[in-house]
Amino acid sequence: MQLREDHELAVRLDRDGGCDFGGEGLDRFADQSGCRLGGDEGKDALHWFLHVVVVTRLILDHNDQIKGRWILPRKVADMTRQLEDTTGDSPIDAAPLLGIDRRSAIDAVRLRIGMAISLGLLQPGERLPDQQDVALGLSVSPITARRALASLADQGVVVRRRGRGGGTFVADEPPQNVLEELAASPAESHAVNRLVDRRLLFECAVTHFAAVNATAAQLDELERLTHEMAGSSNWSEYHQADERFHRLVAACSGLGAAVDVYNEALAELYAYFIPYPIEFLHESNRDHIALVNALRAGDDRGAVEVSRRHVDVLHKTMFMGLAGGDGHQSG
């Protein structure tokens, strides 16, 4: 599809509320744009284009929202379901099934820790957080974390030491053959890049409305969370505060049901996060501080740009970008 032509068509169809991109409107859009829903390329392009149109209109039509005229945020979720009912599985929602979601929870934790070691994010001899903190940092149950660490210890990837100064440490020489098995496939890399793109759209939308609707108390809590992240001593502590921060930004938007959609996208992406050096995470926290400053100033454009950069860089800083096998397609 030609993006410019389809954008003009979408605006024309939606002008004055004439088309809600659902039902007949969706069929009309497909027919007039020349996009054939029967092909994978057409389905994929239409699916993503509709997301872009709706998120863009959410922002551009904010003034109309005040007058009682705006596209409901839940249209994003509704349109996705309509497309899936009409054309089969969504490329977005199907993506995680190609990767870590098909592994057991224990194997997923093993993979995430193993990749962090292979990529040099966890160094030989480095102490891992306590078992409970590993569970919280990777958003899994304590028993899953315990079994995963036990399995890695049995394979010599980590070692356990008792007594004062004990704990779980990265082995001085983890078996290379085991680490090679603990690697993501190209399909998993592609899936995560799609999740990053999905979150990017939602992040920009919730950030815009947070700049308009956030209360003083919410902004104070966001600032407190930036201090908590700045003072965190390991990746687990940081990740827990980071998740609370982004969920609160979404809550600040006041977008109701759309916040639930955002939180689902966030949780799906967090399931692929791996441990990072705390110095790297502290550097990333600069974005959080800049975002809070922009929100306090009511600078919606500045806030959205901070959020856009913060999420877009994940294509390079998550495991697929660091490994050089991102599978990401631009354009």
CB 220 within 8 A of CB 313: no
Residue 274 has pLDDT above 80, yes or no: yes
Query: Which pLDDT value is given to residue 102?
Result: 58
Query: Which pLDDT value is given to residue 207?
Result: 97
Query: Which pLDDT value is given to residue 319?
Result: 81
- Rounded to an integer, the average pLDDT of 262-288 is 93
pTM given for the model: 0.69
Residue 151, SS3? helix
Query: Which pLDDT value is given to residue 104?
Result: 81
CA angle 151, 155, 161 (to 5 degrees): 75
Residue 150 has pLDDT above 50, yes or no: yes
Q: What is the CA radius of gyration of the chain?
A: 22
Query: Which pLDDT value is given to residue 325?
Result: 43
Query: Which pLDDT value is given to residue 232?
Result: 96
Q: Comparing C-alpha atoms, which of 67, 59, 52 is closest to residue 21?
A: 52
Residue 17 has pLDDT above 60, yes or no: no
237 versus 14: the higher-pLDDT residue is: 237
The conformation of residue 169, written as its DSSP 8-state character, comes to: E
What tens digit of pLDDT does each residue of 60-105 get?
Answer: 444 444 333 334 444 444 544 443 444 334 333 333 333 444 568 8
Q: What values do phi and psi take at 229, rounded to 5?
A: -65, -40
75 versus 262: the higher-pLDDT residue is: 262
